[in-house]
Amino acid sequence: MFVMTIDQRGSTGDVDRVPSLLSGLAGLDLAHLEPRRSAPDRPAPDPPVFERSVGDEVQGVVPDPATVVAIALQVLREGRWYVGIGVGTVSIPPGASPREGTGTAFVAARKAVELAKAAGPQVPLSVVAGSIAGNGAIRAEEAVKACANAEAVLRLLGRLVQERTDAQWRVVDALRRRGPGRHGSQKQVALELGITEQSVSRTVFRSGWQEEWAARPAAAMLLEYAHSLISAPRE
């Protein structure tokens, strides 16, 4: 499992943006995520439940890595949040909220968001592996490496997302509503926005949208690999 802790940047001099963040996360469209694209008849998963944990911070438990990637990039797009991702074990009583959960992923997410705050000019996101009980030193080392690699890919994607202009997002959002890779989408978007298909094509190229969607599965795969190492039976 994965725990995400998201804290508002510069909150002392800003309004409380937690309600709008929670609303956006609750309405997140997960219909086009992997692996669902390979099984289009499968119902789209419900967005994970996030809630305010303390102050201007929210926390949620996310079951799959593709959703973690989608949430992280959506939050980074706003440029107002630190994103911490913890990979590890999670235990939550039935019907309980994430705040009542325990496990190594919660501890790792807390460490991750603090590291994100210390990222300086880099993209404010960090991925941390939870501890491994027993004689698992080799697996622990591999999990740390996998998390570091996932963090690197997510920061690259985050840079793409954060540097897009409003005009680029106008085109990208229109394409996203149609689903990545759908034939004829650029022509339809051009008609919708009242611009030429060539203009849409140039904008897609400059925005790095295709590169983003090509690299998302790599970030998810690294997160899943780290999780498999941490959740493996004790040696």
Above 80 in pLDDT, residue 203? yes
DSSP 150: H
Distance CA 113, CA 78 (A): 16
The pTM assigned to this predicted structure is: 0.88
Tell me, what's the pLDDT at 38? 43
- Region 112-119: mean pLDDT is 96
Average pLDDT over residues 128-157: 89
Band (108; pLDDT cuts 50, 70, 90): very high
Cα angle 52-48-37, degrees, rounded to a multiple of 5: 150
Q: Indicate if the pLDDT at residue 185 is higher than 70.
A: yes
The strand pair at 57-62 and 2-8 is best described as antiparallel
**Cα–Cα distance list, 120 to 7, 20, 140, 161 (Å):** 15, 25, 27, 18
At residue 176, the pLDDT reads 86
Q: How is residue 5 written in tokens?
A: 């802790």
Domain boundaries along the sequence of the chain: 2-162+219-231
HEC-encoded secondary structure of 170-222: HHHHHHHHHCCCCCCHHHHHHHHHCCCHHHHHHHHHHHCHHHHHHHHHHHHHH
pLDDT in tens, 67-105: 999 999 999 999 999 999 999 999 988 877 888 888 999
